[in-house]
Structure 1
């Protein structure tokens, strides 16, 4: 059956309800259904009486106790009840913008963010960065400016990878400014190349050791670090990156560590990876909560502002990634027409084939490549064939980048995206080794000249997750906006004729129709 486990993952095998053991997954071959597991002799003797039982169920061993987060959240609630709520937490919960004018007409967003941050005295600032608008660059400019003034800065996110990405950007900005980034990174990979590139950032493996090591500068970690009691009130600023994916509860629990809070992200891109069922606004991410449209929302049906209101936060409104023809669709469909493309991006184009049977006839923009098929839910051979044909047609074609330089399109210049793992595996098998194939989740933050999205579901065959999954607005946004020059959507065109069962369905189908109208092919 389908699984997300891969070689190197920690796993456990359930043999019976009271017999289980932890293993390292050494090898997994999905095509043959075979795997190799590793366990020490001591563990085998203690857990399995020295012998591996004949039957068992392989499960991911991903559980990390959330005790420090739960404790911090309980203490924040107690502080609220006693009237002693930290200012950064109160500003987030009450949706209060910084007590200073936001972006002036003569300011760029980074300039405005730096000015506002230096004037903050206990509050919350929201910075929304749509695809390719330089959210990480802007944040790194603000952080390094604050560091030069002696501020203690925390950088948090759901993943260590996101934290390291922002730390790396800060280190690069510091080098340009003639100084070295100093601080610590807690947890994650000890041999991350970012640490080698920025020797002033010390790696600390355990959150319990962090406060003894940290003196000043920047500190990077996850909620398991910043919710620990010794960090309460210890920092001047906490920057939460990808705040659209960070649970509100985690953000509140972390925010007490700092006087000021900065939320970075985009509520129109990927949402929280795991969502429970919570009453009211408790299930929202930090950014969703901050940008909830109170007038348009209904009980248990929140509506978000697609663009942060100008009197509440900063919107980075110029993409330096997408060709104007790609950006136009994203802007009008996702951002109320507020997102524009940098003039240099208009240079991007591909010299396409002029043959009568060409699949791609546009040198840039969005192309819909329709192919009818039946009975497919999570995997479509017909779409795999179409995707590979499009790749062969575009591979080695002449491409002009936004800097005006030309080159032939190589394999690495393509992203292949599908909503289901079954289609991902089918594409991996059909495309050359090394092809960049994955689900939307894998590619947020990445880009390529050509992005090909395969929706793989037949008309009327939408599975248990329905249209709401394959046409999820946020996921479509991320998929299409990976493209620097050309985005190709391969799908059954009859999906446009689906009878909507609700207003939400109607909006999904409308989005699909916009895609089909971008460029209908034979």
Structure 2
């Protein structure tokens, strides 16, 4: 469809749910455009360096006469892999530079971050030089970022293709003022709110939805598939991989590789830090990692296991506990795991006190009332998903309650006993985040009033979320 688009078509969307290979699809589209149209010129952008590097690696067969990667001078050379470095330009003092205008225009594929896509315009490349502009992971960047390549390089004949998933995490916008003024909504999400991009009516015309999941065991995929993707995703991953943990002795049901371990611990925080931790949950994480690594028949290495927690304090605690025997196990936030996958994913939700839920809502932290954060977290696992948390606190959110019920009915629940019938449907009529909006906290009038009174110097709570650095970091 992308190849058949006439020049100057409206933006086309590749809607790629978890594990469906949207980046692979974009890369293949670029390859075919270059192969079939000798006059085509492609600008491929992403919000982050890591995602842009991945595109370069997958397009490397084009060769360094066709492909170039533009990198900001501020980026450290050590953060760039050898496979990517050969497609860049570096001056005599080891700083990344852009080639002269005449040389840059010879390349048929230019890859950069969205921000660095301003460079071609800055050195004199005319609008319309690129026949196609691709923005991968478009749901993760703020709209002004996506506009940099589009507004500086596109003309009336340029085709724009966006790929991403609006059901996963959007832009990380730390300013509450900016969020409430709309910068938390990506260009992709705003575009897909238009009726012409309806998933059903627009399919094959304005968008394509990838539906084959190449990552997860069918039982792991089933709940998020039905909750977020209309039940359209198909489990197509290699069973040798996705069923590889089904023989583990720790599973409660052999053909259901999901465990919800109910723990009623205590969420605490150190006096010197606003970030929360739950030592009971951290200990349970340690036990599971040890058990999995000790069972030699599973052939698991520490790097095959990933641990997710929404609070930096818990991330640090778990890293300390795993350091002696599993230092290669990555422990991080949901934001750090978007786009990642592991054979085993263990999630520590931390919260065991409902009194802190309002704090989480106010600062957009944690898992409760955050459907996108929930979606990303539970779709990282290939063969085994373990969730550790307090069922009574999590069940305040209807999505979490429905997930707990799903695991309970499937035979994967253990720990703290629940006092409701898991077979009964969950009332979805009131969500916590919607209730919060109903109280008027996002009204523009109140925002303006608060802004005039609030101190913009910062908040002591900024470290509470387990995002170590902005998403556009060098990775």
TM-score, scaled relative to structure 1: 0.65
CA deviations 1:192-231 (Å, max 9, x no partner) are 6555467455458567756354022211223333334534
Does residue 451 (structure 1) correspond to residue 359 (structure 2)? The answer is: no
| Structure 2 CA distance for partners of 1:136 and 1:314, relative to 1, 3 Å | same
CA deviations 1:426-466 (Å, max 9, x no partner) are 00011132221111111222211110000011041336123
Residue 131 of structure 1: aligned partner: 18
Residue 384 of structure 1: aligned partner: 282
Alignment of 1:384-403 (within 5 A): 384-397=282-295
1:262 maps to which of 161, 171, 189: 161
Assess if the C-alpha contact under 8 Å between 1:269 and 1:475 holds in 2. yes
Instruction: Report the Cα offset of residue 180 of structure 1.
Output: 6.9
Assess if the C-alpha contact under 8 Å between 2:341 and 2:382 holds in 1. yes
Residue 240 of structure 1: aligned partner: 135
| Structure 2 CA distance for partners of 1:521 and 1:462, relative to 1, 3 Å | same
Structure-2 separation of matches of 1:425 and 1:280: 33
Assess if the C-alpha contact under 8 Å between 2:246 and 2:257 holds in 1. no
| Structure 2 CA distance for partners of 1:203 and 1:345, relative to 1, 3 Å | farther
Q: Secondary structure at the match of 1:470?
A: coil
| Structure 2 CA distance for partners of 1:388 and 1:283, relative to 1, 3 Å | closer
Structure-1 separation of matches of 2:182 and 2:4: 28
Richer in helix (by share):
2
Alignment of 1:36-75 (within 5 A): none
Q: Secondary structure at the match of 1:464?
A: helix
CA deviations 1:170-201 (Å, max 9, x no partner) are 225x47xxx97523423244456555467455
Instruction: Report the Cα offset of residue 305 of structure 1.
Output: 6.7
Structure-2 separation of matches of 1:260 and 1:396: 53
Deviates more, 1:182-191 or 1:259-268: 182-191
Residue 210 of structure 2: aligned partner: 316
Unaligned stretches of 5+ in structure 2?
270-275, 416-475
| Structure 2 CA distance for partners of 1:448 and 1:496, relative to 1, 3 Å | closer
| Structure 2 CA distance for partners of 1:507 and 1:479, relative to 1, 3 Å | closer
Q: Secondary structure at the match of 1:458?
A: coil
| Structure 2 CA distance for partners of 1:508 and 1:410, relative to 1, 3 Å | closer
Structure-2 separation of matches of 1:254 and 1:369: 46
Does residue 219 (structure 1) correspond to residue 120 (structure 2)? The answer is: no
Q: Secondary structure at the match of 2:161?
A: strand
Structure-2 separation of matches of 1:143 and 1:497: 45
Instruction: Report the Cα offset of residue 493 of structure 1.
Output: 1.5
| Structure 2 CA distance for partners of 1:444 and 1:369, relative to 1, 3 Å | same
| Structure 2 CA distance for partners of 1:309 and 1:380, relative to 1, 3 Å | farther
Alignment of 1:111-260 (within 5 A): 112-113=1-2, 115-117=3-5, 119-148=6-35, 149-150=37-38, 151-172=40-61, 174=62, 181-187=66-72, 188-190=75-77, 194=81, 196=83, 199=86, 202=89, 211-214=101-104, 215-227=106-118, 228-229=121-122, 230-231=124-125, 232-256=127-151, 257-258=153-154, 259-260=158-159
Residue 368 of structure 1: aligned partner: 260
Q: Secondary structure at the match of 1:163?
A: helix
Richer in strand (by share):
1
Instruction: Report the Cα offset of residue 339 of structure 1.
Output: 1.0
Structure-2 separation of matches of 1:328 and 1:359: 18
1:272 maps to which of 147, 162, 171: 171
Assess if the C-alpha contact under 8 Å between 2:89 and 2:98 holds in 1. no
| Structure 2 CA distance for partners of 1:284 and 1:200, relative to 1, 3 Å | closer
Does residue 470 (structure 1) correspond to residue 361 (structure 2)? The answer is: no
Structure-2 separation of matches of 1:184 and 1:374: 48
Does residue 329 (structure 1) correspond to residue 223 (structure 2)? The answer is: yes
1:521 maps to which of 374, 393, 414: 414
CA deviations 1:361-393 (Å, max 9, x no partner) are 545532111111234472101101111111122
TM-score, scaled relative to structure 2: 0.71
Q: Secondary structure at the match of 2:227?
A: helix
Structure-2 separation of matches of 1:343 and 1:220: 30
| Structure 2 CA distance for partners of 1:208 and 1:497, relative to 1, 3 Å | closer
Which structure has the higher relative contact order (CA within 8 Å, separation 6+)? 2
CA deviations 1:140-165 (Å, max 9, x no partner) are 11111112223111121221111111
Runs of 4+ in 1 over 6 A off after TM superposition: 304-308
State how many pairs are aligned.
Answer: 381
Assess if the C-alpha contact under 8 Å between 2:263 and 2:388 holds in 1. yes
Instruction: Report the Cα offset of residue 132 of structure 1.
Output: 1.4
Unaligned stretches of 5+ in structure 1?
1-111, 296-303, 400-406, 499-504
